[in-house]
Every structure is written in structure tokens, then in C-alpha cells.
Chain A
Amino acid sequence: MEISSATADSPPPPAGGPATEARTKSATRPGDRVFLAFSRGSGILLLVIMAAIAVFLTVRATSALSKNEGNFFTTFEWTANGTPPVFGIAVLAFGTVVSSVIAMLIAVPVAIGIALFISHYAPRRLAAPLSYVIDLLAAVPSIVYGLWGALFLVPHLGGLYSWFDDYLGWTGILAYHDGAARSLFTIGILLAIMILPIVTSVSREVFLQTPKMNEEAALALGATRWEVIRMAVLPFGRSGVISASMLGLGRALGETMAVATVLSPGFEIGKSLLDPGGGTFAQNIASSFKESGEIGKDALIASGLVLFVLTLLVNGAARLIIARRKEYTA
């Protein structure tokens, strides 16, 4: 009796207060309060920063749009510093989306292949150094990729493009008319190489987390290694691979330096993806920002706002895809 009453009273109640009150009050200890304030503050700070960026972009963009003499969405021209200013994002939107889509089409299957090789095929001796090299690639600055693209990739793609022209030239979009390979397709290849490490790395982590018991269930039914991957690993990793691809797509959409170094910009949409010319949002901002006047800068900000919205839409779509199959993710 002595002992039990001593333990019940062990947090000494504040003078005058009954024991029950002391217990309810002890729910907010100083440490909890500090941490709550800190985490809540961080959350609010993030929202404030996002709102500030959105307001800044919208205000500056509106001022430029009110002076625009062309149609912002359909004009194939960017003379925002002329009088009157005429600018439209059609070429930039096309270039951004097309180069990113090409990059995804090339990078995602290859990344899944590498990730599966590391997680399920490679002997451990090989898997560890390979993962390390992949992670290292993700840390290379984009300007280095840009220089490599301009100095190595561009001069060496002529052969591949001639081959495309021979067999797929009839499609029109893969016709090649000689000249430097500074086209949207080259940008797509370069972007694919740049996003490969991040997509691989995230997919590998997801595949490695496949529950052992699901893989064993497939094995015990008489599945081969590939069938185990198809039945247990890929379905489990599906949403993770989508997230990884979105990370990669985000990087491809916003990539600036590498694109600006390789692309020969031009405000037209070529018939073929192999024709030089075109542009992307980020590349156009980087290339024209310095020599732009007041209206020119605001016009660039307006194009940046479109990129911002585009990224939001892409992320929203990815979340929808993941949520649709939620019932089936354990």
C-alpha cells in the first residue's frame, strides 16, 4: 500500500492543486510545447514562402501581360523588349513538354531496368559499387552535362539521326536535314541522361523494400525470377516508381543550363524533332534575362509562372494515379 501510493504520486503535484489536475496539465511539457511551436512554425513558413512566390509571380506577370500586343498562348514570337512588346509561350511550352516527354520515354524504362538489376539480379559485390556510381552521377552539376552535351553528344549524334531519317524519316517528325544536332531530340537525350540517376536511385530503394514474404509467396508458387518481379516487386513498387518519375520529370521540366548550352534557340516549331531550334521555359529565361528591360523581365516571369503551374499539374496528375490504386497497396 505504501509503495503503490508513492508511485502514483511520483510526479509531485504543484502546491494547492489536486493530483488529477496535475496529471492533465503534465500533457503539455515544455519540450512538447517548444517542438510543437517549431514544427507548426516550419509548416506555416513553407506556406508563406509558397504564397509569396505565387503573389510575386502573378503581380509581375500581370503587368507584362497587360502590355502584350500578341496572344500570350499562341504567338510564335518573343520580342518582349520591342515597341510594342509581342511575346507568346507556344514555342516554349511545346519545347519544354516535348523534350521532357522524350527524356521520360528514354530514362524511365532504363532506370527501372538498372534499379531491378541492382536490387534483384546483380551479385552483392557488384550492386554496392554500382549504386554508388549512380548516386554520384546525380551529384554532377547540370552545366557539366551541358558542356558534355555540346562538345561530345552534338557532334556524335549525326549518325544516329541519319539512321532515323533512313528508316523513320517518312513520319516527318523524325526527318533529319543534316546540320548540327542541336535539336529538341538531342535535348531529350541529354535530359534523359540527367534524370536517370534520380529515377534509378529512388526506384531501387522502393524495389529493395518489397516484403520478403510477398517474394517468397511467388517463388513458392513456382515463379521464375522475372515472374517474381512481375507478381511481387513491380506491383509493390508501382507508386514509388511513379513518384520517382515525377521527381525526374520535375528536374527535366526545369532544367536550364544544360539546355541553354546545347540548344540553338529559335522561335519556331520545326516539322521534325531533329530540326535545330525551339526553346524551353527555363532555357529562354536564362538566355534572355540579362539583356531584358523592365517589360522583358516581367514577360519572362509570366513564362515562369506557366512553368510553375505546369509542374503543379504534373504532380497533381501523379497523385491521382497513385490514389486511384490505393485500395490495393498494403
Chain B
Amino acid sequence: MAKRIDVSGLSAFYGAHKAIDDISMTVEPRSVTAFIGPSGCGKSTFLRTLNRMHEVTPGGRVEGKVMLDDENLYGPGVDPVSVRRTVGMVFQRPNPFPTMSIYENVAAGIRLNGDRVRKSDMDAIVERSLQGANLWKEVKDRLNKPGAGLSGGQQQRLCIARAIAVEPQVLLMDEPCSALDPISTLAIEDLIGELKERFTIVIVTHNMQQAARVSDRTAFFNLAGVGRPGKLIEIDDTERIFSNPSVQATEDYISGRFG
């Protein structure tokens, strides 16, 4: 179910501009890894290289290697479409398909795979995914209502249900709580704690308390200046990063002295 990610020498570009430079790290399976760092340091860009979404942006280009267990995502002949079916993603703003019902939203990914799924099997998958996203109780009586009619926090959990319905190996989350109120944020954080039993989770966050609360390991990114590429400063156990980091810049950022 969950796979290890091994990144080596990865750089990403927007046209001629280098956004992140030479990043290497390992993300452990069945754990939560948080990316923190100031705005523009490339943590979201880096996240998007892990499911080949970066190259969707016009001019987007990647150099280096991302190994998912023993498969290089950037190897020759690897289809980005199948990569994205293995590595799911949840975005900053909840983005359920506005024209689809709650049920159809969760089923969307499975229908994409093109297999004929029996109605009863699909019902079971939808229920399991919504339960996995802690949303089932709230929506089980209105599965055929539009997904866009839910509250922001519910929509984000619907997006998580949609992402886990296809049973990915890895779940990437790009600031999943930044558009949500504190109560919904708490619900998502609890959910992340449950999901890491089954998935490898990578989360980008601007909220350092959140990183401290939900993650097992934390990676700190920084950039030397405006227009310079972002770099990975260090990655370590979350506890260590927040108590006794090995790089001074990390401590400065965490203690609020800059950034």
C-alpha cells in the first residue's frame, strides 16, 4: 500500500528560471513528512514534482530522479498519467468537481481507470472512502447532492475521499488546511493521523504548529534571495527540528527570527 520515496539531485524549472536546486531526501512509508519554509522557497513546486504535476505548468521542467520504491518516476517511458494514479494529491483550495454529486466525485478516479465496476462494488468503495475521510456520517443521506454544496471543510474531506478512493501509494497535500477554519483544520489533522496507517503522506504547510502536531519528519526549505532557487536546508525527525535543529537558519525560522 505505502511506498518509500527516494529523491536524488532533483531540480525544477519554470522556463529558464530554476525554482528548486538539487534536492535529495527520503520519505519513509506510513509516516507523515511535513515541508516548511518561507513563501517562494519551492516547497509546493517540489511537492508537485513528486506526482509529475509540475510539468503541467507551461514551461515546467524537471531534472533528477524520484524513486518510488524501485521505480524512477522520471525514467524513460514512464507515463505521467499512471504516476498520478499511484501518487494522489489534495490541493490548497478544496476543488470538488462542481458539476458532480458527492457520490460521483468520489467515484471519479475509479471511473477514469476505465474498468467496469459493478454498482454494488462502487457503492462499497464510495462508502469506504468517505468513511476513510471521516465524512460518511455527514453525507450518507445526500450522496446525490452536488459536492459544491458542502462547507469548505467538508469539501476538503470530500477531496481527500476522492484521492484515497483509487488506493494510491502516496498522498501529497499542498497546504490542505490554509483555506479552512480551526475546527475543520482539526478534523483534517485528525484524519491525517489516521491515514498515515495506510499511506505515505507528504504535507506542505505554512503553519509550524501544524507541522509539529501532525508530522513524524519535517523538511525545512529556504532560498538565498528573491529570484534564487529554493534549497532543502535539512530534514530530520520533527521533534528534533523543533527542539534542536542542526542548522542555525532552521532555528531562526522556527523561532520566528526571520521568514
Complex interface: chain B residues within 8 A of A221 (CB): 84-85, 88, 108-109, 112, 162-163, 166
Give min CB distance, A325 to chain B, whole Å.
8
- Beyond the given pairs A214-B95, A222-B83, 10 more chain A to chain B contacts, judged by CB atoms under 8 angstroms and listed by A's residue number, are A211-B95, A213-B91, A217-B91, A217-B97, A218-B108, A220-B163, A222-B82, A224-B81, A235-B99, A328-B99
B-binding residues in A (CB < 8 A): 124, 211, 213-214, 216-224, 227, 231-232, 235-236, 238, 325, 327-330
Give the CA-CA distance A221 to B171 in the complex, in Å.
11
Residue in chain A with minimal CB distance to B88: A220
**19 A-B residue contacts at CB 8 Å?**
A216-B53, A216-B91, A216-B95, A217-B159, A219-B84, A221-B84, A221-B88, A221-B162, A221-B163, A222-B83, A222-B109, A222-B166, A232-B97, A235-B100, A327-B146, A327-B149, A328-B99, A328-B100, A330-B148
Complex interface: chain B residues within 8 A of A224 (CB): 81
Complex interface: chain A residues within 8 A of B98 (CB): 214, 235-236, 328-330
Of A211, A220, A232, the contact of B84 (CB 8 Å cutoff): A220
Of A211, A220, A236, the contact of B51 (CB 8 Å cutoff): A220
- The A-contacting residues of B in range 183-242, CB under 8 angstroms, are none
Give the CA-CA distance A231 to B149 in the complex, in Å.
18
Complex interface: chain A residues within 8 A of B93 (CB): 213
Give the CA-CA distance A329 to B147 in the complex, in Å.
11
Give the CA-CA distance A330 to B95 in the complex, in Å.
11
B126 within 8 A of A: no
Give the CA-CA distance A50 to B168 in the complex, in Å.
60
Give the CA-CA distance A80 to B49 in the complex, in Å.
75
Give min CB distance, A228 to chain B, whole Å.
10
Complex interface: chain B residues within 8 A of A219 (CB): 53, 56, 84
B89 within 8 A of A: yes
Q: Is there contact, CB below 8 Å, between B112 and A222?
A: yes
- Across the A-B interface, give the 6 residue pairs with the lowest CB-CB distance, nearest first: A222-B85, A330-B98, A235-B99, A220-B89, A213-B95, A221-B109
Q: Are A235 and B56 CB-contacts (below 8 A) given A217-B91, A221-B85, A327-B146? A: no
Of B56, B84, B97, B113, the contact of A214 (CB 8 Å cutoff): B97
Complex interface: chain A residues within 8 A of B51 (CB): 220
The binding surface of chain A is classed by DSSP as: helix
Give the CA-CA distance A235 to B163 in the complex, in Å.
20
Complex interface: chain B residues within 8 A of A223 (CB): 81, 84, 112
Of A124, A222, A231, the contact of B97 (CB 8 Å cutoff): A231
Give min CB distance, A236 to chain B, whole Å.
7
Residue in chain B with minimal CB distance to A330: B98
Residue in chain B with minimal CB distance to A124: B58
Q: Which of A124, A216, A236 has the most CB of B within 10 A?
A: A216
Interface residues on B, range: 20 to 34
Give the CA-CA distance A224 to B80 in the complex, in Å.
9
| Interface residues as binary, B117-147 with A (CB distance below 8 Å gives 1, 0 otherwise) | 0000000000000000000000000000010
Complex interface: chain B residues within 8 A of A213 (CB): 91, 93, 95
Residue in chain B with minimal CB distance to A223: B112
Give the CA-CA distance A235 to B159 in the complex, in Å.
18
Give min CB distance, A124 to chain B, whole Å.
8
Q: Is there contact, CB below 8 Å, between B108 and A231?
A: yes
Residue in chain A with minimal CB distance to B96: A217
Give min CB distance, A215 to chain B, whole Å.
9
Complex interface: chain B residues within 8 A of A222 (CB): 81-85, 109, 112-113, 166
Complex interface: chain B residues within 8 A of A214 (CB): 95, 97-98
Q: Is there contact, CB below 8 Å, between A328 and B146?
A: yes
Give the CA-CA distance A327 to B82 in the complex, in Å.
33
Give the CA-CA distance A217 to B99 in the complex, in Å.
13
- The A-contacting residues of B in range 40-94, CB under 8 angstroms, are 51, 53, 56, 58, 81-85, 88-89, 91, 93
Give min CB distance, B149 to chain A, whole Å.
8
Give min CB distance, A259 to chain B, whole Å.
38
Complex interface: chain B residues within 8 A of A217 (CB): 91, 95-97, 159, 162
Complex interface: chain A residues within 8 A of B99 (CB): 235-236, 238, 325, 328-329
Complex interface: chain A residues within 8 A of B88 (CB): 220-221
Give the CA-CA distance A270 to B123 in the complex, in Å.
54
Give the CA-CA distance A329 to B99 in the complex, in Å.
6
Q: Are A220 and B112 CB-contacts (below 8 A) given A236-B99, A330-B148? A: no
Residue in chain A with minimal CB distance to B93: A213
Q: Which of A213, A214, A217, A328 has the most CB of B within 10 A?
A: A217
Complex interface: chain B residues within 8 A of A227 (CB): 112
Give min CB distance, A126 to chain B, whole Å.
14
Give the CA-CA distance A223 to B109 in the complex, in Å.
8
Give min CB distance, A244 to chain B, whole Å.
18
Complex interface: chain A residues within 8 A of B84 (CB): 219-223
Q: Is there contact, CB below 8 Å, between A235 and B166?
A: no
Of B82, B95, B97, the contact of A235 (CB 8 Å cutoff): B97
Give min CB distance, A125 to chain B, whole Å.
12
Give the CA-CA distance A214 to B83 in the complex, in Å.
19
